[in-house]
Amino acid sequence: MPAFTRSFKIREMNDHDTGPVKEVDFEPIRVACYGGYKAHERPVAFTYLECRQEVLEILDRWYDGGVKPDEPVVAYFKVRTSEGKVYLLRYDSDLDAWSIHRKD
């Protein structure tokens, strides 16, 4: 898995609403996906800080990029785990890499 951290402007989100646009950092993670009509259709589990988290529910999903030929298509998934925690996951199709919003 590539060792990288990118910074993107996205909406910082909580369970109830959207917050202001803010710089947030992401770090690479391993994700198990459901692959239906396309690969990496949606996450079903992920490993973060050496702990496997099962995705219980996808709360929100959106795409960014892909408008210009040199922009990657990036999919974002706001998920709730079986432990009740909410995470923001991202899939970069150009890098074939998943990452998670780093909680500082």
> Which band of pLDDT confidence, cut at 50, 70 and 90, is reported for residue 104?
low
pLDDT at 40: 74
- The pLDDT tens digits of the residues spanning 25-69 come to 899 999 999 987 777 789 999 999 999 999 999 999 999 988 888
CA 36 to chain centre: 18
Nearest to 6 by CA among 104, 96, 92, 103: 92
Sheet holding 30-34, edge to edge: 7-13, 18-28, 97-101, 86-92, 74-81, 51-64, 42-48, 30-34
How many residues would you count in the chain? Answer: 104
- The pLDDT tens digits of the residues spanning 1-30 come to 344 444 444 444 444 444 433 446 899 999
pTM value > 0.75? no
